[in-house]
Structure 1
Amino acid sequence: MDGSDRLGRRINLRDLRVLMAVADTGSMAKAAATLRISHPAVSKTISELEGALGARLLDRSPQGAELTASGKVLLRCGINIFDELRQGYRSLEHLSDPNSGEVRLGCTDIILHSLAPMVLRHFSAKYPGVQVDVKLANPGEHQLRELRERRVDLLITRATDQSVADDMHSELLFDEPFVFVVGAESEFARKRRVTLGDIIGHKWILPPPDSSPGALIEGVFRAAGFQSPVAVVKTISIELTAQLVASGEFVGILPISVARLKAGQTALRVLPVKSVGPRISAAILVVKNRTLGPAVESFVNCVRNVVEASRRQ
């Protein structure tokens, strides 16, 4: 009998659920209340786990309980195990009813205002019985944490030239240039010829330079031979950018697909200024070696189909 067989006899799903509850609540007493069992039962379970593993899982104090390094490792195992069980249950549901299930989609603000609406319309038309839970994910490491902790099934994000984390699988959907945008009533919108030099001294709304899109946009200005202007307003919000630019008081820069979509919704105009330098891409991210339910697989295929159809237009 190897080590995994011995552990299998001494650690069960209930034990892992108790540890996860302690991690979520930060104390054994709160975990007991959440699970509706006694405080001594929680304490005994944790002690038996520590005995089975030969490692301390929690640092206990009057303020509560905090996971040790060993506790964090076991917690990740518990999250993975329950996630695989959840995906297996979804697969069983799908066998009895292919038009069922759930997709938990994470996407950044820029995806919510560009690709996501088209995908969701197509997917809901084909699979009306599948629920899609859309969560706004902040750019950067936070969005990866949502994936690692199984709070979302997949992430559609605007990728940068940064390398993908080792535990993530990335599928590139497309890449595109940035374009410069002004309000439809702006003085620049009425001109046939506009250069970057004409608008560089205007009031700008831009992403913060320490953000992923901000770093790319700085590269666009550098490639054109200009220093990035000091933004009057710094934000990663697409909606705020579109609203302020449409007012005619600001100049902005957006991915071309987002700019065209917003131009149809608000009084935006794309300037005839060629953008050089970095491009911005969109990608699907999932955790490597994670089982995806049939509904999620169908959703990913729908994303691919929508992107491919948009290329042919």
Structure 2
Amino acid sequence: MTSSAPHLDRLRLRQLRLLELIDTHRSLRAVGEVMNLTQPAVSQMLKDLEFAFGVTLVDRSVRGAMLGPLGQLALQRARTGLAIFDNLAADLHADLPTVVRVGTNPAVMLDLVPSALHHMEAHRANIRFRLEAGTVGNMMSGLLNGDLDCYVGRVDWTATPEQMAETLRYDPLTETSLVVACSVDHPLANRSSVSATELAQWPWTLPSGDTNNRRSIETAFRNCGVQAPVPVVEVSADPTSLLRLTQKIELLTCLPKIVLDTYAAEGRIVPLVTPDLDFLRIQTCFVTLRENDTLQSLQMLREALVHVCLERPDVTEGG
């Protein structure tokens, strides 16, 4: 079965919403009740949708209806498109400048994104920016679902299905690594180097277990044959809080270098030399959907980010 351009042109938004209803209710009869349609009418809508795309989207059986692999992909893309329509409608009625919804990681907000907005003179660009900081997984989900226009931060490609990754345009910006740190008053502060075995014996504050940084920390310890430290305090996606706790309670922590540099310059926090801990490099990317790639507002932000990174190669991110 091949796709039909004339039939694609005749598709309606509610036919795209049909996939989400099927995924939720797993029954064409139940979907009909929600849409105030008969089951035959829902079946015809689905047939028209599958004919237009030229593929089977829904697996039907006596137990109901379920989205197949292609149906899941179509649903993901449909959610993105519907979210774009919803936000466009809101912007048009608001009679305000274009809104760019940017997802970030918290450490990116310390310097990289503010510096880029300063470079592009965002306050004069007739563009409004809505910034949201969170974990890598949440930000990537927001981008794929159409809740964000772009994402600036770390990308976990292992958690992104290949079919979804192919829908994205991404530009590498810069990279860094994680660093173990403590307060200047900590007993380890003046050591020339510290082993993973000894580090694991001290109390820690770490990012929460759902973050990529936490997983990288645990992997580095395990690769040394050492059980990863169990933190006294966990903090969800907030590196500045990790450093405040490190200073006040004299806990060890581990975080991206850009965050540490900000505080180390004030003489309150120091990095530790940990020769046997091998942390994976953290790469910052600018990511957006391919269909949004030509939007002028996103091009301006991308160019500003690249400019900042070229001028300041130590700028990095966390998550």
**TM more than 0.5:** yes
Q: Is the 8 A contact 1:262 1:268 kept in 2?
A: yes
Match of 2:226 in 1: 227
TM-score, with length taken from structure 1: 0.70
SS of the residue corresponding to residue 196 of structure 1 reads coil
Match of 1:287 in 2: 289
Shift in Å, 1:40 = 3.7
Shift in Å, 1:301 = 1.1
Deviation digits for residues 212-239 of structure 1 (CA, Å, limit 9, x no counterpart):
323322454467x572542233445323
Counterparts of 1:280 and 1:73, CA distance in 2? 28
Deviation digits for residues 12-53 of structure 1 (CA, Å, limit 9, x no counterpart):
334336537746986758965xxxxxx249x78634312424
Which 10-residue stretch deviates more, 282-291 or 297-306?
A: 282-291
Q: Is the 8 A contact 1:102 1:296 kept in 2?
A: no
Match of 1:255 in 2: 256
Residue identity matched to 1:13: R
Counterparts of 2:242 and 2:33, CA distance in 1? 43
SS of the residue corresponding to residue 304 of structure 2 reads helix
Change in 2 beyond 3 A, CA 1:186/1:83: same
TM-score, with length taken from structure 2: 0.69
Match of 1:36 in 2: none
Counterparts of 1:196 and 1:304, CA distance in 2? 36
Identity of aligned residues (%): 15
Residue identity matched to 1:110: A
Q: Is the 8 A contact 2:183 2:268 kept in 1?
A: yes
Counterparts of 1:227 and 1:17, CA distance in 2? 51
Counterparts of 1:179 and 1:124, CA distance in 2? 33
Quote the RMSD (CA, aligned, Å). 4.4
Counterparts of 1:174 and 1:77, CA distance in 2? 29
How many residues in Structure 1 have an aligned counterpart in Structure 2? 290
Counterparts of 2:71 and 2:175, CA distance in 1? 41
Matched, 1:150 2:152: no
Match of 2:136 in 1: 139
Residue identity matched to 2:133: L
Match of 2:107 in 1: 110
Match of 2:306 in 1: 304
Counterparts of 2:225 and 2:124, CA distance in 1? 48
Shift in Å, 1:136 = 3.0
Counterparts of 2:268 and 2:123, CA distance in 1? 33
Q: Is the 8 A contact 2:183 2:250 kept in 1?
A: yes
Match of 1:35 in 2: none
SS of the residue corresponding to residue 273 of structure 2 reads coil
Counterparts of 2:85 and 2:156, CA distance in 1? 33
Which 10-residue stretch deviates more, 101-110 or 234-243?
A: 234-243
Residue identity matched to 1:305: H
Counterparts of 2:100 and 2:24, CA distance in 1? 26
Change in 2 beyond 3 A, CA 1:44/1:240: farther
Residue identity matched to 2:130: D
Shift in Å, 1:306 = 1.6
Q: Is the 8 A contact 1:84 1:290 kept in 2?
A: no
Residue identity matched to 1:172: P
2:98 to 101, 104, 120: 101
Alignment of 1:29-178 (within 5 A): 39-40=36-37, 46-52=42-48, 53=50, 68-69=67-68, 72=72, 74-76=74-76, 78-79=78-79, 81-82=81-82, 100-125=97-122, 127-140=124-137, 142-159=138-155, 162=158, 165=162, 166-167=165-166, 168-178=168-178
Counterparts of 1:283 and 1:153, CA distance in 2? 14
SS of the residue corresponding to residue 245 of structure 2 reads helix
Residue identity matched to 2:144: R
Deviation digits for residues 235-288 of structure 1 (CA, Å, limit 9, x no counterpart):
4532331221021420111111111224468x7412352566233222222334
Q: Which stretches in structure 2 are left out of the alignment for 5+ residues?
A: none
SS of the residue corresponding to residue 136 of structure 2 reads coil
Counterparts of 1:138 and 1:204, CA distance in 2? 20
Residue identity matched to 1:287: L
Q: Is the 8 A contact 2:178 2:255 kept in 1?
A: yes
